[in-house]
Structure 1
């Protein structure tokens, strides 16, 4: 859908004119913070990661002082137990674990200890239900016959992330007479997670919910941190709430049924973490992108865990995006404009974010905030991940400006952007930039 046009006004403002998750069966850091209008952000370093894969534990060696580990630095040791990795999202009495590992849906105790009442509603879609709904029901009820499980199966795709589809969740919950102790379970990708979470935040003014993400995009980003919501025809994710889950359960086996295009889309968010705050992780990605595309289980377990660590730390410091958390949206302002301008579902979220990231990097370079080598590295890794590095030809300058004018990061008429500044792994969230650089970037990527 084409957005209406708008133009720049005042020297520091953008005018406020309005403008699928498809699976298939395939066999306190040291940081310098200056809150709005500008936030600077430095990179963290991690030491040792641990997760289980089948009947072994994988020890992922990421030194705090050395360069990022190559694949031959990831070793295994035998263990008879299957203990998943657990990354904690520290939010005081609302803290929760992110479980990461292979075959976690075969461990019913992980889910059951986070279900407090006797009623569960699984929210999933037409693609995921035939693959994982039965197994999830088993995981919730095995040895626990008092649990009553209902399910609602939604149509699959970003174009259905709207109020009409959301009402199907409420209809099922009300018809099933679910009470305030019930638990909603999101089984699917980012669309399902966002919609189920928003339904849980709203139903009876708030019930428990659990995230079971089944796509790379959801596992490394959208399932963590409590952002929930739906789209509006004029902008993506403009309606929603911050609402945290009881836990996030990431069974990496679900990636076995994920199509290549969806897998690549999720890698856009993995790359983002390296660019904005974790230089060592980015260097690891440069060495191991081929392994990720080949679905190497060890590589993916490491990438998911490191991404979740990054996301969890930021959320713990800035749950409701007062400033710092906005840095996680590198490329998203441009990317959301692409998704909205084209019509939801035409490009996958990660594809739009990838092109948007290239535009944000280009603008950072035009401002003199990064050197050309970082521009080249960002472009190269996105291409290696089989992601687009330019917006679709149908996107015009006016379409970008119109949609960006209603972006959630606009404050007092001022469009704030996440841009890279300094060496790899550093960024700023700011409205203090030369407007001509944004204009030049849009003109460089759009024909009109």
Structure 2
């Protein structure tokens, strides 16, 4: 699958090192890198109703991580999936009276355009589930042969039975155990499983939390012929197979929104451990949720703010980016008009304070004018500001503090605006045009 164009990332001289990142599994900050190459896997979209601000917030969090790795001189290998066949997509396509493949294609293209506008660094491996059904089925067959996968009677299918993952059997080698990634207790896991695509009440399962590996073909549903019978993949196994195939067994960070901690990331890690004998990742990192109109932004509620609609209104994508980065990536927060207005004002203040206030050529609308630039005496050293910027971001991607550092520098002036402007572009992904 084709990703989107890669934006230029300036190289800024000076001392830099890999960031500290919060690890959900251990609940502590850890330095994240694996040798000279950092390997990142971030769960991709199910392509309907893309791209809302919640999506953008997650991808900008891990874009910032990539930029910090690059600033530290590391190579980055990034892989991302697209869940382009799944029940929610099929249901939405049926509601709209369109072919599910057409809906997926439309929304993937929209997502590409949004990521390009927001200057998000693309994955080297951008993989649709429909491209790797064969390897996924082969992985399911291996799990079944090893006793970790098992069949559950499925009378509604004329093609065979569903295949499930035995979490008790998977835990015996000790590489993965239930709760080792999430830290959740069983009662919470059972509730979240029911809410997030699981089927804890399915008759015939060995454990209510056992996740689906392979869904046997039903009438009217997409299907593929495979070594485990006709059908399609379960949700979690896709990420396990794509991550192992493209990044190997030493994934540095598996990332996504906090709503993926359980069951998706927990079970993806379980599948990968059962397939490889190794933990899926060194660090499991999660971004907070974005609310709108008092509720978590979600497709099911329909309270979505879409990046594409903001762009159609002529909103500067840099302001959308800064509106999101003004909140720490792990925090839950609410999108409001005031959040966006503050970001639009910030773009203008930064450009004015760092060299004249001209709008960037990539912006879709000029930033509002704040009047003439103050002639106040320059009080800040650009080298010191850049170091403070790096220090903030190295501390668990603290973008609000980083933005405050630039706010102060733009207000006071700096001795080398060009250096600071290049640094802002490099680590925050916000290009500024200054005179």
Tell me if both proteins adopt one fold, taking TM over 0.5 as the criterion: no
Which of the two has greater strand per residue? 1
